[in-house]
A and B are shown apart, each in its own frame.
Chain A
Amino acid sequence: MPKVADIQRALEPTWCPGCGNYNMQKALLEVLEESGMDFEDYAMVWGIGCHGNGADFYRAQGFHGLHGRALPLATGIALTNPDLKVIVNMGDGDGYGIGGNHFIHSVRRNIDMVAIYHNNQIYGLTTGQASPTSDQFMQTPSTPGGVVEEPVNPVGVAVAQGATFVARGFAGDVEHLKSLYRQALDHHGFSLVDVYQPCVTWNKVNTFKWFRDRVYKLEELDGYDPTNRTMAFEKSMSTFHELTCAPDECKIPIGVFYREAESFTYQDGLPQLDRPMWKHAEAPRDISKILEAY
């Protein structure tokens, strides 16, 4: 089975030194190796942004799609080849901003796929504008007076929208992130993993240190039940933070917020998806019976 070195392509990285994407890739590569999946067993999809440049760093069956449109592209793959596990990489502007509509609908569809969000709370590739997850009042080139809006709460939205697996990771803790990826790959349904992935170049506030001082693990929290949707929603509200909040006042949970052991996926509702759909085009379909109605 492919090892990390087989799946990783040796290219000159285009991520900044220290970028959180390196750890995210390391975690995913190691989990892919562990999973025992062969190259032919999965497909990877990327949106556009710094994370998307990672498309060049994998040897995989995959597609580097449009900005914001990775989910529907991945859905087209997942709904036409049941043999492929689909893993989608997106950014915060990509997946929660321009692609926000697809985010909501993919969650409620419960398409069996893994959706990883590289959330650095900034637009990196376009040089540092505010993103949908930038903290309120953050000053950026597109918001010199500070961001006015509340940030998108992806965990809360997903939980409210009926998601069946919702987790948040931190790129500064690779082992923990790997455990989230493992669980996401194992989950039957739409698995959302939102990963805080500090941008070392454009986001001078939400740094690795900033997160290290604030994150804690839900699985270490006494009494936290990840099968309780209400509890998950309450916890999702505490992921909001203010720029000036002190580390001890502003704790950020990571880990699995919510999971459903049994979930009915979109694919489960498609009895006709019993084979790769290209097989229907091996010969002309006989429509003579259908024509009788006309």
Chain B
Amino acid sequence: MPLPPRGSELRIKIGGAAGLGIKAAGQTLARSFVAAGLEVFDLSEYPSLIRGGHNTYTLRVSPRPISSHVEAVDVLIALDRETVDVHLDEVVDGGAVIFDPEVTSTEGWLPSPRIRPVPVPLAKFAKEAGGPIMANTVALGAALGLVHFPLMFLVDSLREQFAHKKPEIAEQNAAAASVGYGYITKLAGDFWMAVEPLPGQPKRLLVDGNEAVGLGALAAGIGFYAAYPMTPASSILHFMAAHEREAGVVVKHTEDEIAAMNMVVGAAFTGTRAMCASAGGGFALMVEAFGMAGVSESAVVVGVLTRPGPATGLPTWTEQSDLRYVIHASQGEFPRVVLAPGDRSDAFELTWKAFNLADQLQTPVIILGDSYLSDNRQSVPMFDLDAVTIDRGKLVAEGDVADHPEALAEDGSYLRYKVTDDGVSLRVLPGVKGAQQLGNSYEHDEYGYGQRGEAAEVRAAQNEKRMRKLELARTLVPAPATFGVDPAEADVAVLFFGTTKGPVLEAMRWLEPDGVNVAAMQVVTVWPFPADEVRAFLGAAERSIIVEGNITGQLRGLVREQCLVDVDDELHRYDGRPFSPEMIYAKLTEVAHDA
């Protein structure tokens, strides 16, 4: 398999029991490499518990842009024996395993013709440095020593990590790292792999998807965020709460997701840019109020960060199986927009855009992500803050409603739900003189009152008015993104949505030297579905495939339904793990050769 040339990038995996600080250690390492000008992509895999159980953190480091994790591992840091048992096969030939012989027995896997064992007395060194908890820090130092990477970056990163704790904690960790580093450089100076800093790189960000969503919401002027904790969405709540006072956001951890969604509709009623987020299970509780946002034409943004279901499912793993669910959720019919970011840069941009779309359309907008987006960090170019705009649509926030005769009835009353050509009515906020109005979960007349909403002609007119906004949405939403060659020149055309983007783009890079031409299309706005663009893309391609992380082919079903065409092949994953580029590379190679 023509993976990136041997030695051109580094893949480190740290494994051990939950509670050993594996993710924190890994992120410290990630920051070190980014500070040194390198690109990183990390992947945390962990069961739903706080202590015990097997956790891993995988870090891919490269001097060139990368867009996903990979399966291959060059250096495995085994903090326990289970890590060896589960992950030894992932280590490339000639790869190293750093382990503590006092903790991890060598029985059954050493000696090995393929593996370079690197025994380090991690526990002993950690204890000497200040405490056994620092075994992972010793191992990080050892790993850097192994690949001849300057220790300074890790020490700086450790100091940053422990900046809010007592100064001796940072210094003990720095000492632990340097003991591990020194021990290895003395012993293992001949390891074949070396990673070098790349000075002079522009500032990049190291963010996970939830941070990118939170940053996008802040940039967009969010004033209210409500949520109930649920993996993988919880860290958006933490992010918003951490910034609530300095940024000026009211953040509420609610009694349940039902309250969160209802509060967000109330906040939108006062004109506040408001958002809530959860996983699919929490969104299930939000759905009734989500529908209320639709019928009451409330501008709200809802994050749905999915994980494998149904019910509690696999809380800490990933899947793309809620596509149909978010498109259809709620009884009745109303327009909605569903945006599916493929990576962290997308997540920032689509989140601030979601607030504009919600205001322009006066209807709910969903940001559909998943654990692969939420949990994992990636180095990305600095977000383009100058591109952020605020468009609040037809909104009057101050003054007197009498100055807006186009929104008034003959008797001068304000018509919140006036029937218009594009379906959007002038939204005059409560507090504006004369803007008495009734937001309503019932069908209603132009004033908002429910009693006359039952009249057949009123119901039909309001229903049609709302649905006209979906046509307006088509002119406003982000178009599909295309990558690679033109579909007419492609050996294979790939259609996907959401976070499959990373491994697809990665696999495409690997296919280039093989001479396989790939065209790819990311359905960025999954609703309203971009039927014309998808039909044209698939129609131009000789051979096409859909790659999606679910068992039933939800995107494929949408393509059939919306475009009246089909694809030639499909690749699914539904075991809770994200697609790897290796998996997609193998499948696209097979499809291209069959063509």
Chain A residues close to B by CB (< 8 Å):
9, 11-12, 14, 39-40, 43, 45, 48, 53, 55-56, 59-66, 69, 71-81, 83-84, 101-102, 104-105, 270-273, 276-288, 290-291, 294
* CB<8 Å pairs between A and B, sample of 27: A55-B449, A56-B451, A59-B436, A62-B439, A63-B439, A66-B289, A69-B258, A69-B289, A72-B262, A73-B262, A73-B289, A75-B262, A75-B266, A76-B274, A77-B270, A78-B266, A101-B255, A101-B256, A102-B255, A271-B245, A278-B397, A280-B272, A281-B220, A283-B390, A287-B385, A291-B382, A294-B205
Residues of A within 8 A of B352 (CB): 284
Among B222, B258, B267, B269, max chain A CB count under 10 A is at: B269
Q: In the complex, A75→B264 CA distance in Å?
A: 9
Assuming the contacts A55-B450, A79-B224, A294-B206, asked whether A278 and B440 have C-beta atoms less than 8 A apart, the reply is no
Report the minimum CB–CB distance from B360 to chain A (whole Å): 13
A-B pairs, top 5 by smallest CB distance, nearest first, are: A76-B266, A277-B223, A281-B221, A278-B271, A76-B263
Q: In the complex the two chains form, is A60's CB within 8 Å of B436's CB?
A: yes
Chain B residues close to A by CB (< 8 Å):
205-207, 211, 215, 218-224, 226, 243-245, 247-250, 252, 254-256, 258-260, 262-274, 288-289, 292, 296, 352, 355, 382-383, 385, 388-390, 392, 397, 429-442, 449-451
Report the minimum CB–CB distance from B22 to chain A (whole Å): 21
Residues of A within 8 A of B222 (CB): 280-281
Not counting A77-B269, A81-B270, A294-B205, a sample of 4 additional A-B residue pairs whose C-beta atoms are within 8 angstroms of each other reads A40-B435, A64-B442, A79-B250, A290-B247
Residue of B nearest to A75 (CB): B263
Within 8 Å by CB of A284, from B221, B249, B265, lies B221
Q: In the complex the two chains form, is B430's CB within 8 Å of A61's CB?
A: yes
Residue of A nearest to B288 (CB): A66
Report the minimum CB–CB distance from A28 to chain B (whole Å): 16
Residues of B within 8 A of A278 (CB): 223, 270-273, 397, 429
Q: In the complex the two chains form, is A56's CB within 8 Å of B206's CB?
A: no
Q: In the complex the two chains form, is A272's CB within 8 Å of B245's CB?
A: yes
Residue of A nearest to B270 (CB): A81
Q: In the complex the two chains form, is A48's CB within 8 Å of B441's CB?
A: yes
Assuming the contacts A40-B431, A66-B289, A79-B250, asked whether A102 and B259 have C-beta atoms less than 8 A apart, the reply is yes
Q: In the complex, A94→B219 CA distance in Å?
A: 38
Q: In the complex, A284→B385 CA distance in Å?
A: 9
Residue of A nearest to B255 (CB): A105
Q: In the complex the two chains form, is B249's CB within 8 Å of A272's CB?
A: yes
Report the minimum CB–CB distance from B373 to chain A (whole Å): 16
Residues of B within 8 A of A283 (CB): 221, 390
Q: In the complex the two chains form, is A84's CB within 8 Å of B250's CB?
A: no
Q: In the complex the two chains form, is A287's CB within 8 Å of B219's CB?
A: yes
Among B259, B288, B435, max chain A CB count under 10 A is at: B259
Q: In the complex the two chains form, is A291's CB within 8 Å of B263's CB?
A: no
Among B206, B222, B438, max chain A CB count under 10 A is at: B438
Report the minimum CB–CB distance from B197 to chain A (whole Å): 19
Q: In the complex the two chains form, is A64's CB within 8 Å of B249's CB?
A: no
Residues of B within 8 A of A277 (CB): 223-224, 248-250, 267, 270, 272-273
Q: In the complex, A278→B259 CA distance in Å?
A: 20
Residues of B within 8 A of A64 (CB): 438-442, 450
Residues of A within 8 A of B255 (CB): 101-102, 104-105
Q: In the complex the two chains form, is A66's CB within 8 Å of B436's CB?
A: no
Residue of B nearest to A294 (CB): B205
Residues of B within 8 A of A62 (CB): 437-439
Residues of B within 8 A of A294 (CB): 205-207, 211
Q: In the complex the two chains form, is B250's CB within 8 Å of A273's CB?
A: yes
Q: In the complex the two chains form, is A281's CB within 8 Å of B292's CB?
A: no
Within 8 Å by CB of A61, from B206, B256, B388, B437, lies B437
Residues of B within 8 A of A71 (CB): 259
Q: In the complex the two chains form, is B390's CB within 8 Å of A284's CB?
A: yes
